[in-house]
Amino acid sequence: MTTAPADTTIQEQEEIPQPTTMGRLLRRLFYNDPNDELTLQPHMDEKLTKKSELWAFFLFGFGYYSWANSCASLLLPILVQGVARRASHLESDPSVPCPDTDPENDRCLVPFGWINVTPTSYVLLTNVLTVWCTIVVTLGVSALADHGRISKRIMLVTSTMLCVIACFIFLGALEPSIWWLSAFLFLLTGVVNGPTQNFYDAHIPILTRYHPDVVRVQLQEGEASQAYIDAKTKVQTLLSGGSSAAGYAGGMVLTVISAIILLTVSEDLVTVGYCVIVAGVYIFIFVCFYAKYAVQRTFPPLPAGSHWATYGYVRIWKTVSKARRLKTLFYFLCTWFILGDGLAASSSMAILIAQDQLKLDSSSMIIAALIQMITAGLGMIFWIRLQNRHGVSPLKVVLFNTVAFGLLPCYCLLGLIEGCPIGLKHEWELYMLASFFGIFSGAIYSSNRVVFAQFIPFGHENELFALYEMSSVSSSWIAPLVCTAIIQSSSVRHTWWFLASQFFIPAVLLLFVNVDKGREEGIEFYVKEQEQKKLKVAGAQTDEAGSGSVEDEERNIIKRTV
């Protein structure tokens, strides 16, 4: 009587259809494991990372990163430089408007404050001013997101403001009398973009900490185990690389849309402004997805006596003053200070040279941008697989790609050799450089964030990622100023000497980064911070208990006196 039911059970199990390959893929992508809620959630003080939250993170990157990959790096420089050129006059005779092409032995100059500069320098100096304003705003609000329940709200406000401002940038090209408005609105987009970028990057360590794969290993092996470190690195690599790849894909879609608009309507500056409007609407769609599915986690409240307007600056100053306890983290920031500047400046200079000297139109620029985004997406897939399947550390990926990227300015320097047929002198060279730029730059940005995330003490994600972003952004005014000085004194091609140093110097510095030591310093920092908080709480309770009767007596004396 016992064997028949068993046989029947086995027969019934064999008749249950196995899930198809597509079914397993859909389950892996969209469905959470119900066992995680039973076995893992009771051990956590916050919600586990769900698949919907991961999709919100990647979809936001799909839309938001398209701003940096398509608008800020392509459409806006073309628009601002074109508008500035329309408002420029000949250096020899300021009363004569500048023609479409620079005359021989003369230059086009446009006012920037109380000085006159070339349209190319005008764009670079606008970037400098944008960087300074971005630093002030981002450092002020970054640490607020590590407290309370406002990080998601701030991120939604700043990203929505970015979309709204983008819809008015075209006015500078539409009305010649307010040509300066495009540069001013370009500055505002950079200011609101800084906090958005900071809060988005801070998702990586937070989502990793509550990811089921990481929590499972943490409970089984402990936080000090190598398995736990490997699990965190794998998830961080997926999040950082996946968001970058999603951003390149989103930028590619947006660039194709812009190309269709330019080819079907016209290629004048007003149409470029309309493309920026489309970009603002495009990004806002994915901001709505994030607003619906992202989870707002609870962080400690602001300390007593702190004010929201000054707390960010005070806390960052305190953290920087403790740099000796996070030596590896701040050493890495110094390296990123130089490297990030070189990455941003190289892209801008390639576009400005192609527009100013090669006289390429908007269609050629868009083709170059598409090539860059396609190769960047393919490169991200390659580097993620290399790291997760073959165990190549993110630091080695950053080091290799930094050296490889440094060869691009060296190639462009060949253009200074008289009679040399190459060196960014032809349109096909721009497309070739765009492909190499995509392969190397995407891996640098992605793997760099993974390395830095391992150094961050718990509870300081937004604050320290603000320093990470600002270490790159704060240096971004150096290269434009240096390049402007070089352009004003010699020619735009001589800027590649300086840009080449922006990669080889960081490559040497990266050789001395010890990831294990940096990770240990972050853990020790957090442990000591918690110990100090416990001592303060215990001391306050002791003082309250010991002085309670004295305080009561003082209150009674004051009442009797009154």
To 5 degrees, how large is the angle CA 298–CA 299–CA 300?
A: 130
Q: What tens digit of pLDDT does each residue of 245-269 get?
A: 888 888 888 888 888 888 888 778 8
Q: What is the pLDDT of residue 163?
A: 93
One-character DSSP codes across 333-390: HHHHHHHHHHHHHHHHHHHHHHHHTS---HHHHHHHHHHHHHHHHHHHHHHHHHHHHH
Helix pair 119-141, 478-489: axis angle to 10 deg: 170
Asked if residue 2 has pLDDT above 90, the reply is no
Within a domain: 14? no
* Contact by Cβ (8 Å): 217, 228: yes
Asked if residue 553 has pLDDT above 50, the reply is no
What's the whole-number mean pLDDT along residues 283-305? 88
How many structural domains are present in the chain? 1
One-character DSSP codes across 417-479: STT-S-SS-SHHHHHHHHHHHHHHHHHHHHHHHHHHHTTPPTT-HHHHHHHHHHHHHGGGGHH
Sorting pLDDT into bands at 50, 70 and 90, what band is 157?
very high
Within a domain: 309? no
What's the whole-number mean pLDDT along residues 346-355? 72
Within a domain: 311? no
Residue position matching structure tokens 């600002």:
470
Q: What is the pLDDT of residue 70?
A: 80
Alpha helices in 112-225 (DSSP H): 119-141, 151-166, 171-174, 181-201, 203-209, 212-221
Asked if residue 43 has pLDDT above 50, the reply is yes
Sorting pLDDT into bands at 50, 70 and 90, what band is 21?
low
Asked if residue 445 has pLDDT above 70, the reply is yes
How far, in Å, CA of 437 to CA of 343, rounded?
9
Rg (CA), the chain: 27
Within a domain: 66? yes
**Tokens matching residue 144:** 């607020």
Asked if residue 344 has pLDDT above 80, the reply is no
Sorting pLDDT into bands at 50, 70 and 90, what band is 475?
low
367: nearest Cα among 377, 354, 381, 378? 354
Within a domain: 18? no
Within a domain: 260? yes
Within a domain: 38? no
Q: Using a CB cutoff of 8 Å and minimum separation of 24, what contacts does 526-530 make?
A: 526/457, 526/458, 526/459, 528/325, 529/457, 529/459
**Tokens matching residue 482:** 């240096």
**Tokens matching residue 145:** 């997101």
Mean confidence (pLDDT) of the chain: 80
Where in the sequence is the domain holding 267, given as residue range(s)? 51-294+318-537
Question: Which of 303-312, 326-335, 432-441 comes out lowest in average pLDDT?
Answer: 303-312
Q: What is the pLDDT of residue 514?
A: 92
Asked if residue 25 has pLDDT above 70, the reply is no
**Tokens matching residue 501:** 């140093």
Asked if residue 179 has pLDDT above 70, the reply is yes
Residue position matching structure tokens 């407290």:
147
Q: Is 403 helix (H, G, I), strand (E, B) or coil?
A: helix
Within a domain: 43? no
How large is the greatest C-alpha to C-alpha distance in the chain, in angstroms? 108
* Contact by Cβ (8 Å): 505, 338: yes
CATH of the domain at 141: 1.20.1250.20
Asked if residue 19 has pLDDT above 70, the reply is no
Cβ count near 389 (within 10 Å): 8
**16 Cα distance to chain centroid:** 47
Q: What tens digit of pLDDT does each residue of 494-542 get?
A: 888 888 888 999 999 999 999 989 988 888 888 888 888 777 777 666 6
Asked if residue 347 has pLDDT above 80, the reply is no
Q: Is 285 helix (H, G, I), strand (E, B) or coil?
A: helix
Asked if residue 548 has pLDDT above 80, the reply is no
360: nearest Cα among 446, 300, 409, 425? 425
Q: What tens digit of pLDDT does each residue of 95-150 get?
A: 888 877 766 777 888 888 888 888 878 887 888 888 888 888 887 787 777 777 88
What's the whole-number mean pLDDT along residues 534-555? 58
Asked if residue 547 has pLDDT above 60, the reply is no
What's the whole-number mean pLDDT along residues 150-172? 90
